[in-house]
């Protein structure tokens, strides 16, 4: 895993077999880490009975995980493969559990569990020289010879081995002909007076031409396209395509086979889909990929088909169907219902792209499991390995990718602010130490994101709020688990409001940003401002307070007094400084920082 050790990125191994923590002399020198006074060189015994020389011990070296400092005493010694090894002295001190199956490190804290998702380092080479191999063998290391061969994704999947799925072989057949007529065929509406557009084909590389010819022959054989005499004609573009919640026990993901091609086009609009190639002029009779309104049309079909199951045990995104259940027995029933719908509507899935009866899986760039939702390590590898930006355009690209996961990072906008400044108009590009720190910190936080707990409708919520002269902070909880944190700075004349209004404003802010969770649910609000308990019976109110009390009437909410010392998280968030120049979308605050949930679940995704 990659962590900040002494302020510098280092490849770290969590090793429950080591009694102490170690750092290599090279990393110690680069990080400016020196042996503490009174610590002398010596020897330590290693696995296999050998000994390793030490150059002293550096005490209290800062190790940053998820924005928190967890100092360690590091023995300076020439260990191999990793820059730093964190042993049992550090692991036991911070109450660490190693989840080897999921590649996670779990910290048990008074405030709740913090789950660190590891990412295998890629910058450190796993290829060693013959001399290094010989040295390792001399030390008694075991060596194995393995032959690796490539195989296509999905190879080895046997339908007869999958419960329930084995009864629906027809649903997983390849598309061999035109889809059936549907009640809502795809139509293309044009603005009145639009003249036909026809362009000559683009030049293509030999490999592209070979692929184009292959696909045209395949589409013709299935009847998806036909020769055309339409006055319309678009050039062909190639786009690479990948081919290859709470308390849930099973997840299945079903991916439809060439989903768009399973919707026919209205005959009157077929001519508008015409395209030109060096191999001829053709037009689609089924919905092609690439049309602006094609995703919306396909989503409309999927929503109509699965309407009664949506948000009950089915989630849909375009042609991906996620089926989730609280037990194995429930999941068998749910999966059967979904496959029966596909059979009834003559919609076909691709077996090699489906996953069945899983406990966790990747979905839309996230890992969905019983614990909640976390960042998919495979998706953030690109962020972790991103080179230092050298222009404003490169900064925008980095922040655009990283921003997709901002809800997992507390204070994302504030952290990114030094880099964001460089993207302004007519701002000279000067990469400062502050920008470098911002860049490194963002990468570190995105590779150590905690798990976002999922709210459960029907169960009561607790909202803790606090306000200070700087801003406000609030925490959303349910059954002792943190669902989300949020905070913002007061702006303009807001700072001049009386304390009573500031505290009430924090309550209103929390209810507004978490409206989608809280409306219609039982909500207990806890504040350290005692007089807010009586806001509903307060005899005299100003105009602002009157508006806010009317707003509160929309919620099933009670306001309770909670002493400031017992409301530490909201208090800390309210006193945190933010750059007022950073404007943030209210919805993006939801789930900025999260803790893991103590529950087990299983998912199935299709």
Q: Express each pLDDT in 541-554 by its tens digit.
A: 999 999 999 999 88
The pLDDT of residue 180 is 72
138 domain residue, yes or no: no
Mean pLDDT over the full length of the chain:
76
Residue 554: CATH number of its domain:
3.30.420.10
457-482 pLDDT, tens digit each: 788 999 988 888 878 877 888 877 76
**Residue where a domain terminates, one of 363, 389, 421:** 363
The better pLDDT of the pair 456, 440 is held by 440
Return the structure tokens found at 86.
């964190």
How confident is the model at residue 379, as a pLDDT? 62
With a cut of 70, say whether residue 353 has pLDDT above it: yes
What is the count of structural domains for the chain?
Answer: 4
Summarize pLDDT for 493-505 with one digit per residue, the tens.
888 999 999 999 9
Q: Is a pLDDT exceeding 60 seen at residue 121?
A: no
> CA-to-CA distance for 184 and 461, rounded, in angstroms?
42
Residue 245 shares a structural domain with residue 358: yes
Residue at 132 is within a domain: no
Please tell me the least confidently modeled range out of 122-131, 183-192, 276-285, 546-555.
Answer: 122-131
- Higher confidence at residue 100 or residue 604? 100
521 in the same domain as 414: no
12: in domain: yes
Are residues 184 and 240 located together in one domain of the fold? yes
Same domain, 316 and 436: no
With cut-offs at 50, 70 and 90, classify the pLDDT of residue 202: confident
Is residue 143 in some structural domain? no
Q: At which residue do the structure tokens 């400092």 appear?
A: 69
Same-domain pairing of 288 and 188: yes
Task: Give the range of the structural domain holding residue 566, as residue numbers without chain letter.
Answer: 461-575
pLDDT band at 72 (very low <50, low <70, confident <90, very high): very high
In this predicted structure, the answer to whether residue 515 has a pLDDT above a threshold of 50 is yes
Are 62 and 203 within one domain?
Answer: no
| 363 SS3 class | strand
Selected residue with higher pLDDT from 488 and 117? 488
- Contact yes or no for 3/444 (Cβ under 8 A): yes
Do 220 and 268 belong to one domain?
yes
More confident call, 197 vs 574:
197
Confidence label for 508 from pLDDT (cuts 50, 70 and 90):
very high
Same domain, 496 and 554: yes
Burial class of residue 127, CB neighbours in 10 A (0-12, 13-18, 19+): exposed
- Residue 224, pLDDT > 70, answer yes
pTM: 0.44
For residues 374 and 593, what is the distance between their CA atoms, to the nearest angstrom? 11
pLDDT score, position 460: 92
Give dist(CA 548, CA 526) in Å, integer: 17
| CA distances to 35, 190, 200, 261 from 264, in Å | 72, 18, 26, 7
Per-residue pLDDT averaged across 62-89, rounded?
Answer: 87
The single residue listed with the structure tokens 């090699």 is: 352
C-alpha 590/C-alpha 474 separation (Å) is 11
Average pLDDT over residues 304-322: 83
Strand ranges across the sheet with 372-375:
360-363, 366-369, 372-375
Tell me the residue length of the chain. 606
Asked if the model's pLDDT at residue 255 lies above 80, the reply is no
83 lies in some domain? yes
Q: Are residues 241 and 357 in the same domain?
A: yes
Question: Which region among 17-21, 150-154, 532-536, 588-592 has the lowest average model confidence (pLDDT)?
Answer: 588-592
pLDDT of residue 154: 47
**Residue 568 falls within a domain, yes or no?**
yes
Q: Kindly list the strands in the beta sheet with 556-561, ordered across the sheet, starting from the edge strand earlier in the chain.
A: 481-489, 471-478, 461-467, 522-527, 556-561
SS3 content of the chain, % helix, strand, coil (to 5): 35, 25, 40
Mean pLDDT of 121-140: 60
Q: Closest Cα to residue 3, out of 81, 73, 57, 82? A: 82
**3-class secondary-structure state, position 493:** helix
For residue 473, what pLDDT is reported? 78
Q: Which residues pair with 115 in a beta bridge?
A: 106
- 166 three-state secondary structure: helix
Least confident of 9-18, 51-60, 152-161, 364-373: 152-161
Instruction: Return all residues near 555 (Cβ < 8 A) that are at least 6 apart.
Output: 511, 518, 519, 523
In a domain, 251, yes or no: yes
Residues 400 and 502 in one domain: no
Asked if pLDDT for residue 152 goes beyond 50, the answer is: no
In the structure encoding, which two tokens stand for residue 202, read together?
Answer: 């683009």
Give which of 121, 12, 19 is closest to 65, Cα–Cα. 12
Cα separation values, 65 from 163, 212, 405, 583, 596, Å: 41, 49, 17, 27, 15
State the burial class of residue 307 (Cβ atoms within 10 Å of its Cβ: 0-12, 13-18, 19+): exposed
| Residue 260: both structure tokens together | 């768009």
| Token output for 543 | 């105009």
Q: Are 320 and 363 in contact (CB under 8 A)?
A: yes
Q: Which residue has the higher pLDDT, 392 or 577?
A: 392
> In the predicted model, is pLDDT for residue 149 greater than 80?
no
Please write down the long-range contacts of 378-385, taking CB distance under 8 Å and 24 or more positions apart. 380/119, 380/405, 380/446, 380/447, 381/119, 381/122, 383/443, 383/446, 383/447, 384/2, 384/119, 384/443, 384/446, 384/447, 385/122, 385/123
Q: Which of 336, 363, 390 is the last residue of a domain?
A: 363
Give pLDDT, residue 158: 64
> Is residue 213 located within the same domain as residue 355?
yes
Q: What is the pLDDT of residue 551?
A: 92
pLDDT number for residue 127? 59
Do residues 604 and 250 touch, judged by C-beta distance below 8 A?
yes
**SS3 of residue 12 by DSSP:** strand
Tell me, yes or no, whether 600 lies in a domain: no
Element (H, E) at 220: helix 206-222
Q: Hey, what are 277's tokens? A: 């190639």
Backbone torsion region of residue 418, taken as left when φ is above 0, otherwise alpha when ψ lies between -120 and 50, otherwise beta: alpha
Residue bearing the bigger pLDDT, 449 or 429: 429
pLDDT at 228 over 90: no
Asked which of 116, 131, 153 is the last residue of a domain, the reply is: 116
On whether both 284 and 423 belong to a single domain, the answer is no
pLDDT at res. 356: 83
pLDDT value of residue 409: 67
| H/E run at residue 325 | strand 320-325
């Amino acid at each position: 895993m990659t962590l900040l050790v002494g302020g510098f990125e280092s490849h770290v191994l969590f090793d429950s077999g080591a009694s102490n923590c170690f750092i290599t002399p090279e990393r110690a020198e680069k990080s400016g880490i020196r042996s503490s006074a009174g610590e002398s060189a010596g020897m330590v015994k290693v696995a296999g009975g050998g000994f390793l020389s030490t150059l002293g011990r550096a005490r209290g070296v800062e190790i940053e995980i998820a924005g928190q400092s967890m100092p360690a005493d590091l023995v300076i010694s020439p260990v191999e493969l990793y820059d730093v090894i964190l042993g049992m002295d550090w692991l036991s001190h911070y109450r660490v559990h190693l989840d080897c199956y999921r590649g996670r490190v779990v910290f048990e804290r008074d405030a709740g569990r913090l789950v660190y998702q590891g990412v295998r380092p890629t910058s450190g080479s796993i290829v060693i020289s013959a001399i290094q191999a010989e040295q390792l063998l001399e030390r008694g290391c075991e060596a194995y010879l393995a032959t690796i061969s490539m195989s296509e994704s999905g190879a080895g999947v046997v339908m007869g081995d999958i419960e329930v799925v084995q009864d629906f072989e027809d649903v997983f057949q390849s598309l061999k002909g035109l889809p059936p007529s549907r009640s809502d065929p795809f139509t293309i509406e044009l603005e009145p007076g639009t003249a036909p557009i026809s362009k000559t084909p683009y030049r293509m590389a030999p490999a592209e031409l070979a692929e184009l010819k292959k696909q045209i022959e395949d589409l013709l054989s299935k009847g998806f396209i036909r020769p055309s005499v339409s006055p319309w004609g678009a050039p062909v573009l190639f786009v690479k395509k990948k081919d290859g919640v709470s308390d849930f026990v099973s997840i299945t993901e079903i991916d439809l086979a060439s989903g768009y091609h399973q919707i026919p086009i209205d005959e009157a609009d077929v001519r508008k889909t015409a395209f030109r190639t060096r191999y001829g002029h053709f037009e689609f009779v089924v919905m092609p990929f690439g049309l602006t309104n094609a995703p919306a049309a396909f989503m409309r079909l999927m929503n109509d088909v699965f309407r009664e199951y949506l948000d009950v045990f089915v989630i849909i995104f375009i042609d991906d169907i996620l089926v989730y259940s609280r037990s194995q027995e429930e999941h068998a029933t749910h999966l059967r219902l979904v496959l029966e719908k596909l059979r009834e509507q003559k919609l076909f899935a691709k077996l090699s792209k489906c996953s069945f009866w899983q406990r966790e899986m990747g979905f839309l760039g996230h890992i969905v499991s019983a614990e909640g939702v976390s960042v998919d390590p495979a998706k953030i590898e690109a962020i972790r390995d991103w080179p230092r930006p050298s222009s404003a355009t490169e900064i925008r690209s980095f922040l655009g990718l990283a921003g997709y996961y901002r809800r997992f990072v507390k204070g994302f906008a504030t952290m990114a602010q030094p880099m964001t400044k460089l993207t302004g108009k007519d701002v000279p590009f000067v990469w400062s130490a502050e920008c470098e720190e911002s860049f490194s910190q963002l990468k570190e936080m995105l590779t150590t994101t905690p798990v976002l707990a999922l709210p459960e409708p029907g169960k009561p919520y607790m909202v803790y709020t606090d306000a200070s002269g700087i801003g406000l902070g609030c925490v959303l909880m349910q059954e002792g688990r943190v669902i989300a944190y949020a905070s913002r700075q007061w702006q303009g004349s807001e700072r001049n409001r009386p304390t009573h209004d500031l505290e009430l404003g924090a309550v209103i802010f929390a209810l507004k940003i978490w409206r989608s969770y809280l409306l219609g649910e039982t909500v207990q609000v806890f504040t350290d401002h005692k007089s807010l308990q009586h806001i509903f019976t307060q005899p005299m109110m100003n105009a602002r307070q009157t508006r806010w009390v009317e707003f509160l009437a929309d919620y099933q909410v009670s306001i309770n007094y909670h002493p400031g010392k017992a409301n530490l998280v909201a208090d800390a968030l309210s006193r945190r400084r933010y750059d007022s120049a950073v404007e943030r979308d209210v919805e993006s605050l939801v789930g900025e920082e999260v803790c893991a949930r103590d529950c087990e679940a299983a998912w199935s995704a299709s």
